[in-house]
Each structure stands twice: as structure tokens, then as C-alpha cells.
Amino acid sequence: MEMIKVKINGIEVEVEKNTTILEAARKAGVRIPTLCYLKEINAIGACRICLVEVKGARGLAAACVYPLDRDGTEVFTNTPAIRAYRKMTLELMLSNHRMECLSCVRSDDCELRQLAAEYGVDQNKFKGTEDLKPDIDEAIHLVRDNSKCILCRRCVAVCRENQYTGVIGPNNRGFAAHIGSPFDEPLTNTSCVNCGQCTAVCPTGALVEKDDTDKLWAAIADPEKHVVVAPAPSVRVQLGEYFDLPIGTNVEGKMIAAIRRLGADKVFDVDNAADFTIMEEGTELLERLKNGGKLPLITSCSPGWIKFCEHYYPDFIENLSSCKSPQQMYGALVKTYYAQKAGIDPKDIFVASVMPCTAKKFEIGRENQAGSGYPDLDCTITTRELARMIKTAGILFNDLPDEECDPALGIASGAGHIFGATGGVMEAALRTVAEIVTGKSLERPEFHEVRGVEAIKEAEYDLAGTKVKVAVTSGLKNAAALLDRVRNGEADYQFIEVMACPGGCVNGGGQPHQPASVRNFTDVRAVRAAGLYSEDEAMTLRKSHENPVVKQVYEEFLEKPGSHKAHELLHTTYVKRGL
């Protein structure tokens, strides 16, 4: 590793040769603004916001792609000329940007608006298209408005580089250039998997999740409805980011208190349903291993991954676990077991979930997701939508006491909590399967080999003489690479976990926005996941099969894991889709 010394605004720093100016400046304590750059997937130097002066070089340099390859290079990032240039570039962007900042859902965290404020721009300096109109494409999980697009291509990059699908890209050229699907087809006519990663990286309000908060507000206001709300595992370590708490802070107690104050009749925990998922999925794995069923068994918790498999790898549909996702199991149990216990007609129960994931909005409308005869879920909102509801209701989130979920379906194990991190489903399943097979209690329940954010993780375990080789991956480009290896006979596994979003649900398409200035220098996935693992480690209940609520529901209602009744309520089917 060859090191060189450079100067950033007169501050000398030592960096590895060919480090970009952007990275070197960060080491010198200087933030260079960007709009298009995303580390590892979108280094195109297109937005020109990061331009800097390099002593001795002709013209200005894009800091995000300019490599420092010589000792003594001097860079200036904050000269009067640079500030004026950035201000003018922002003003030109705004000339072709529909300005509705007061009502835009991204007003509080729009990267364009924040830079405009920093540089004191005049939004009316340049006159662009007359009467710029909304340019809307609405899908079940998101709304795209190209009148707010700045052509940064972050969405294009994440869709292609992380998620494999590449269903959007730049169309036309010059002033007619815009982001769209091939032939400008509506997004719903493509093989989009609804993952929402594009909404997570968009710097403006051009791509936002489909807002379903009105449905939940209406149910809460309806005296005839018994409203049950439950958050997913990862939401508890993301929600606090919207209330100025550090990334990864676990706010489970305050989150529960806030949902109650919104008016929910009951607050349950989707983590509890995650424990049921392990019981059903673990039983399914053991059945396939024993009776020669289709292997490898592949997890089915991530609806973005399921739709991806149906579109792009339909030959693996028989490998998918027939288990519903924890969200859908939760809804099915609320409208059957809980309804029976509480003496409430299922038609009068409104079941909502809080999810890290925009694909959940598609999932609730899938076939075979109505175990009670009514849809398992009536509404699902993202972490972002919940944060907006809390703010709208005037709830002082940081001042709330810590409260616990209602007990009926509110007790979860540490195994259920770690579902939100890549490898969490696998580890939770291994904890239960290992003890069932060996008949012995694990000395320590951790399976560190399947943790972390690496593209593909592999491990092999000996379970009472049965060798089980497992693999874990997240991000659909990685999933495609893994499945290609299996398809070509290059890898042999018995159990595979796939999460659609890189890093798992902690990095879901519905999670709090973090600007590029954070994403490019902090592994948000790992920091958020650490919050879930910390919660698990602090618990005494760490295995799904030891959850007292799970035991009670099987004894009173479901009979046993894998029973006929459990299959009716907690399992589903899949379909082959075209491209």
C-alpha cells in the first residue's frame, strides 16, 4: 500500500495513493457536498456540486472521482470561486425543479433543499420550464414525480448495481432527458420487485413511498374498528433517527408508547410472529432433510426477494419455504387466535404493521394471504410514515416513558429481534433446529459465521451427525450470483437465507433517509444491526421454541408446528411471473 501526503485547504493528510479528493477531504475534517455520488455504486461526477480546485490542474475537478496520485498535491474546496460555482449550479437545478417545499414529504430531509439553504441560493434567478407540472407514475409501493428529479441517477445505480433488476434508467437526451422504465411503461408493468431501494437513496422528493397513513388514521377514528398495530424487528433501531437520536439507538419502549398515543387499541410485536416463522420454517427444513424434499430450502420472509424469485428465478420456486412472512403470520394470528380469545369478530379488527419495507405494501395484496377469510393485513406503513404520524400527532417522542407490548402476541425472543439483520433469520432457525435435532441446549446460541454484511456468507454445521451447509446473502445482485452457483452445480447447500435489501431489513426501502454524506462514510447497515444484536444479547429468552406465547398458541390453537391448521393459517403459495 503506497501512501502519499496531500494538502486539503492547507491541512496536510496522508492517504493511500489514488484515494479520491472526496475521501481525503473527509480525513482532513472537510465535507465536500455531493448529490449524485454513492460509494461503490454511483461514481459518475454528474451533478458537479463537488467540484474543487487542484493546484496546477486545468479547470475544476470532480472530487468524487478525482484520484490523488502524487505527493504534495494541493486541493482547495472552499474558495470564493468554488462557492459561487456551486451556488450557480444549484440555482440552475432549481430552475427545472418543481418547488413545493412546504408540502413535500421530503421537506425535512431533502438534500437539495439543505444545500440550497447552505449556499443561500436564489430559487428564482434562472427561469426554466414554464409552469412545471407534476409528472407522476404511481405504483402500489411508491410514487415517482419526475418534476422533482435532478437526474442524479442514484436510483438507477441502486436498482442496477445492488438489486440486479435495472427496471429504470435515463430516457431521451438533452432537455428531454428523464428517468423512467423502458419505453416509459408504468413501473407496475415492469418486473420491479417493489423493494423501494430507489426511495431510500433519492436525494429529493422525486421518489417516495406510497403513503398509507390515511388508512390507519381513518381506522383509529372509527369507533367500530378494533385497531391492532405491530412493528417489525428492525423498526425499533431506526425510528429514533427521525427524532435526532444516534443511528442504531433502540427505541422499542418509546415506539410502543407512541403507537398507543396515536390511538391503537393494542400494540403487538411482529417479532413474536418471527418466532412462529422459525417454528414453521424449522419444521419444514427438518421434514425436507428427513424425507428428501426439495433442497436447498430458501427463506421466504422478504417479499422483495420472493417477487424477484418469481420473476427472475422461477425454477427455484419449489425451493422457497411455504411459510408466510412474519408480517402475514402476525395478521393471520390476530384475526384468528386473538379474535377468538378476545371475542371480537375478525371483520371488526383492523390490523396494521410498521415495516422497514415498501415491498410489504405489495405483499398484503398477494393471493393466499387471508387465513381468517379476511385479508391478514389491512394496512402497512413504513418507518418513515410512522415517524410522520408521531410528529403530526404532536407526540413528544423523546420524552415518552418506555412501555411494553400487549402480552397476547407481544412477547418475542432475541431470535425474533435479530430477524431485521442479514443472517438473523438463519441464526434464529439454527438455534431452534440445533436443539431439536440434538436434544441438547446450546451452550451459547450465537452463530457468528452467518453475521455481517459480506455479499455471501457460508457455514457448515454438524447437527447430531447430519451435515447442514448454509448460505446467507442480501441484495438481489448477490442473490442472483448465489442462485447461479446453485443452478450450475457449483455450490451445494441445504438452507439459504435471502434478503432483498443489502444488509437486510435494517437497510430496507422504507427506513429513515440518511444523506449521502452519511452513507458514503458510515456503514449504516452494520450500525443499525448492532442495535438488534445488542438487544438479543441482553435477553434471557433467546430461542423461538422457548417463547411462552408461542408454546401457548400451539397448545391451545395450532396443535403443533407444521399441523394442518398451521398450514392453513401460516403458509402460502407462489406464482411464476414474466419479465
C-alpha dihedral sign at 87, 91, 97, 100? positive
Q: Residue 25: what residue type?
A: A
Integer Cα distance of 298 and 281 in angstroms: 10
The confidence score (pLDDT) of residue 58 equals 86
pLDDT digits (tens, 9 = 90+) for 167-183: 999 999 988 899 999 99
Rounded to 5 degrees, what angle do the CA atoms 364, 370, 375 make? 55
CATH number, span 3-87: 3.10.20.740
pLDDT digits (tens, 9 = 90+) for 181-219: 999 999 999 999 999 999 999 999 999 999 999 999 999
Residue corresponding to grid cell 444516534: 246
Mean pLDDT of 142-152: 96
Is the Cβ–Cβ distance between 140 and 361 less than 8 Å? yes
Alpha helices in 1-132 (DSSP H): 21-27, 80-95, 111-118
Verdict on whether the full-model pTM lies above 0.85? yes
Rounded to 5 degrees, what angle do the CA atoms 6, 9, 13 make? 30
Question: What DSSP designation does 38 have?
Answer: B
CATH for the 214-570 domain, from 2.40.110.10, 3.40.50.1780, 3.40.50.2300, 3.40.50.1980? 3.40.50.1780
Identify the band that residue 125 occupies on the pLDDT scale cut at 50, 70 and 90: confident
Give the residues across from 554 on adjacent strands: none
Mean pLDDT of 341-360: 98
- Cβ contacts of 407 within 8 Å, gap of 6 or more: 549
Give the SS3 label for residue 158: helix
**Lowest model confidence (mean pLDDT) among 29-33, 49-53, 54-58, 338-342:** 54-58
Give the SS3 label for residue 423: coil
Residue corresponding to grid cell 398495530: 229
The confidence score (pLDDT) of residue 130 equals 63
Integer Cα distance of 267 and 415 in angstroms: 20
The confidence score (pLDDT) of residue 123 equals 86
Give the SS3 label for residue 281: helix
Integer Cα distance of 355 and 212 in angstroms: 12
pLDDT digits (tens, 9 = 90+) for 406-417: 999 999 999 999
Give the residues across from 180 on adjacent strands: 169
pLDDT digits (tens, 9 = 90+) for 462-503: 988 888 999 999 999 999 999 999 999 999 999 999 999 999
Domain boundaries along the sequence of the chain:
3-87, 96-124+134-209, 214-570
**Lowest model confidence (mean pLDDT) among 19-28, 96-105, 126-135, 433-442:** 126-135
375 in the Ramachandran plot: left (φ > 0), alpha (ψ -120 to 50) or beta?
beta
* CA distances to 262, 550, 570 from 553, in Å: 28, 5, 13
Alpha carbon 122 to chain centroid distance?
36
Residue 355 half-sphere exposure, CB side, CA atoms within 13 Å? 33
- % of the chain residues with pLDDT over 70: 99
CATH for the 96-124+134-209 domain, from 1.10.760.10, 3.30.70.20, 1.10.260.40, 3.40.50.150? 3.30.70.20
Identify the band that residue 129 occupies on the pLDDT scale cut at 50, 70 and 90: low
